[in-house]
Amino acid sequence: MLDLNSIEKAHKRIVSVVNRTPFAYAPNLSEISGYEVYLKKENLQRTGAFKLRGAFNRIAALVEEAKDNGVELAGVVAASAGNHAQGVAFSAKHFGIDATIVMPESTPLTKVQGVKEFGAKVILHGTNYDEAYAYAVTFGEENKFVFVHPFTDDDVMSGQGTVTIEMFEDVDDLDAIVVPVGGGGLISGMSVAAKALNPEVKVIAVSAKGAPAMKKSYEAHTTIDSTSVRTIADGIAVRDTSPKTLEYILKNVDSFVGVSENEIAAAILFLLEKQKLLVEGAGSVGVAALLHGHIDLPKGSKVGIVLSGGNIDVTMLALIIEKGLVKSSRKMKLMVTLVDKPGALQAFTQILTTNGANIVQIGFDRTSTDLKFGDAHVSVALETKGVAHQESLRQKLSDGGFVFKEEH
């Protein structure tokens, strides 16, 4: 079962292997929010995410059970978009056990390679976690491998709950903890520990709006599955709601908020620039909620935010940074229709450059079917200096007689 005793037992079991990650005061976030903010940096964990805690605890328990029963553990199998996979692969290698990981076909290459580096066999199957999960269960049954569930197993959730143990030991008077939610294993374990240690602490769940199943289920007090998921926070892109984790969430979570893709991107950029931390989308949702006013607590509250992982695909990072720059008003894209004659383009770009905008990309189109004869579309991407600068540019262009559209 999952309770404080099982979580404390898990902590003793994993303490010699799992990093005790920093739980550090964040002055920039504190100043912006008006709260006293601390960041639990599970992005600095071995394997790059909190998932190692639950995976190691579960496999250690399986090894103990097999030894007590005098049997040999054939192997373990798991389904994961990446972080649980690396946790299982690492733990299996530690104990000398065969591991097979089933991952969705869209899994970033960096996460696939990370699993293979620990010696696990990788099977790419399905378009999302749930399809990979179904295949992994069948594989386990056929090969007599034990399936290690990423979030509904009691040993896994107990391992994840050790994050709370460390946070409360480091800062013993927290008013609230902010936890990312996908399948719900992390927040189940953490919330059980938090409410047992301090019933007054607020537990705030955060999910991506592109993967809303658990939030909708929380609001409806019953399981609601999503027909599809689409989010840059791939670590929490879970389509179906687990009744087991929902039960813990309904019991222990005080509020549940969702964040948009642009808000997640802006949070990743903020953490990279201001905190010097590389955090993946799923790990950034708590900071996204804080930065964009979705967390409502008394001023001065002590708030602990879990940065759940840092395994981000480098090829996706450029796109995320681009979104973050747009969201933070440091980049804007415009399209204007000009009369295609000498000097028209120069007049347009001169307004931009003389008012401090840096043109980083420009396109010129004479052939679109919506154009009048003799007109041209000009699209530009600009580096800007914030909200006020963008407003000034809009006004200068309007004063100059240019009619433009903003592209997002």
Give me 210's structure tokens.
């592109």
Residue range 337-358: mean pLDDT, rounded: 93
**What's the domain range around 291?**
4-50+154-325
Q: In the predicted model, is pLDDT for residue 165 greater than 80?
A: yes
Count of structural domains, the chain: 3
- In 3D, which of 205, 217, 212 has the Cα closest to residue 238? 212
Higher pLDDT, 402 or 176: 176
Q: In the predicted model, is pLDDT for residue 108 greater than 80?
A: no
Whether the Cβ atoms of residue 161 and residue 190 lie closer than 8 Å to each other:
yes
pLDDT band at 110 (very low <50, low <70, confident <90, very high): confident
Whether the Cβ atoms of residue 285 and residue 208 lie closer than 8 Å to each other:
yes
Which residue spans within 266-330 are E strands per DSSP? 302-307
Residue range 113-139: mean pLDDT, rounded: 91
Strand 375-383 to strand 358-365: parallel, antiparallel, or no bridges (unpaired)? antiparallel
Q: In the predicted model, is pLDDT for residue 227 greater than 90?
A: no
Residue range 186-210: mean pLDDT, rounded: 99
The verdict on 203 and 298 lying in the same domain is yes
Give every CB contact of residue 96 below 8 A, 6+ residues apart in sequence.
none
Question: How many other CB atoms are there within 10 angstroms of residue 1's CB atom?
Answer: 8
Q: In the predicted model, is pLDDT for residue 154 greater than 80?
A: yes
The verdict on 141 and 66 lying in the same domain is yes
Whether the Cβ atoms of residue 356 and residue 389 lie closer than 8 Å to each other:
yes
The verdict on 178 and 136 lying in the same domain is no
pLDDT band at 111 (very low <50, low <70, confident <90, very high): confident
pTM: 0.87
The verdict on 80 and 45 lying in the same domain is no
The verdict on 37 and 73 lying in the same domain is no
The verdict on 164 and 296 lying in the same domain is yes
Which tens digits make up the pLDDT trace of 240-275? Answer: 899 999 999 999 999 999 999 999 999 999 999 999
pLDDT given for residue 324 in this prediction: 80
pLDDT band at 49 (very low <50, low <70, confident <90, very high): very high
Which of 132, 147, 162 is the endpoint of a domain?
147
Q: In the predicted model, is pLDDT for residue 302 greater than 80?
A: yes
The verdict on 373 and 273 lying in the same domain is no
The verdict on 188 and 210 lying in the same domain is yes
Which of 98, 113, 147 is the endpoint of a domain?
147
Which of 325, 344, 365 is the endpoint of a domain?
325
Give every CB contact of residue 396 below 8 A, 6+ residues apart in sequence.
351, 355
